[in-house]
Every structure is written in C-alpha cells, then in structure tokens.
A and B are shown apart, each in its own frame.
Chain A
Amino acid sequence: MTSHFLVLMLFAFFVSVVFAVLLRDTPREQVRTGALMLGGFVAAAFVLGWLMYPFPL
C-alpha cells in the first residue's frame, strides 16, 4: 500500500472515529463530530501540502 492519500484518509478516519466516540454520547453527535474532524484533517493536509509545495525536499 503506497498511496499516500489513501493512508492519510485511513489515518484521519480512524482518529476521527475514536475521538468522536470518546467526546460525544449520542450517535448523531458522534457522526457530526467525526465528519467535521475528518474534513478538518483532509483540508489541513491539502492546505499544508500546498504551503510546502514551493520548498525543495
């Protein structure tokens, strides 16, 4: 498995699920919080990726 994006999505998914279930008590709130966190993770990855784009390795 070498797709960086797939690994990123998997990581964000699992962390979001665990945090959402830890922090919220009702399934509705858990789904909402988990989706927000997942979106935040992915958005942050894209923003940071573009910000780092000009820098050489």
Chain B
Amino acid sequence: MSTKSTTAARAAAEPTTLALVCLLAWLLPGAGHLWQGRRHKGLVFLVAIPLMFVIGLLLHGRLFPLEMAEPLVFLGAIADRGTGAAYFIARFLDAGAGTVTAVSYEYGNTFLMTAGLLNFLVVLDAFDIAMGRK
C-alpha cells in the first residue's frame, strides 16, 4: 500500500465518514470501495452483486417479508435487504413476489439472499479499508 493511500485511509477513520462509507457501500454495492479509490474492486462489486440480484428475480425468487414469527423467513428477509437500493427498487417495481411453483424458485431465493450476504461482506471490507486496516 502506498504512503498516499495509507494516509487517506487513516484520515477517513472518523465516525461520520465511517458511517457514510458503510451506508454508501450498502446502498450501492462497491460504492464504498470506489469512494476510497479502490476502483477495480468497486467496479467488480458494482456489476457482480446487482447482476446476481437480477438473476435471482428472473429465476422467480422471492423477497421475503420481515416476519418475526418465522425465524428462517426473518433471516432470509435480512439477507435480501443486504443489496441495498436494488432491494428497494425491486419492491417499488413489485418484483420479487416469487413463484413457488416455478422449478427455479429456490435457486432464485438463493441468488437473492447470497447477493445480499455478499454485499454485507463488501460493506465490512469497505469499513476495514476506511479504518486503515487494509
């Protein structure tokens, strides 16, 4: 890591900046990396994670509601929301209702949830960069 990027990472370790990086990284996958100058990584996440989410919708996956009574559904709902803005856009467009009878239904769910969980890891990585750990 160069001296310049190390300095930039340390300077970014203020609570407000950290919160902004995490929020941005969650809303738009890869945006946290792009903001911190990790262009290559950011672009890969920006393409791969939303594409995975869209494939999940095309496979008739379901965006689960936050139902506390059903623990597994609740966990699935948390994972679905990991993709940030893409989730809210899909809900706005009435996508993600899920077709239980479709042969690809479970595959779709897996793509949707995995996209969200991967983005949580990307957010953590952006946080580590902002803290100067990477």
Q: How far is the CB of A11 from chain B (nearest CB, A)?
A: 7
Evaluate contact between A27 and B103: CB separation under 8 angstroms.
no
Q: A14 contacts which chain B residues (CB < 8 A)?
A: 48, 51-52, 114-115, 118
Evaluate contact between B107 and A21: CB separation under 8 angstroms.
no
Q: Mark B47-60, 1 if CB is under 8 A from A, else 0.
A: 01101100100110
Residues of B1-56 at the interface with A, using a CB-CB cut-off of 8 Å, are 40-41, 44-45, 48-49, 51-52, 55
B114 touches which one: A4, A15, A21 (CB < 8 A)?
A: A15
Which B residues lie at the A interface, using CB under 8 A?
40-41, 44-45, 48-49, 51-52, 55, 58-59, 103-104, 107, 110-111, 114-115, 118, 121-122, 125
Evaluate contact between A18 and B44: CB separation under 8 angstroms.
yes
Q: A43 contacts which chain B residues (CB < 8 A)?
A: none
Residues of A1-57 at the interface with B, using a CB-CB cut-off of 8 Å, are 1-2, 4, 7, 10-11, 14-15, 17-18, 21-22, 27
Given A21-B41, A22-B121; 9 other pairs, CB 8 A cutoff: A1-B104, A11-B107, A14-B115, A17-B44, A17-B48, A21-B44, A21-B45, A22-B41, A22-B125
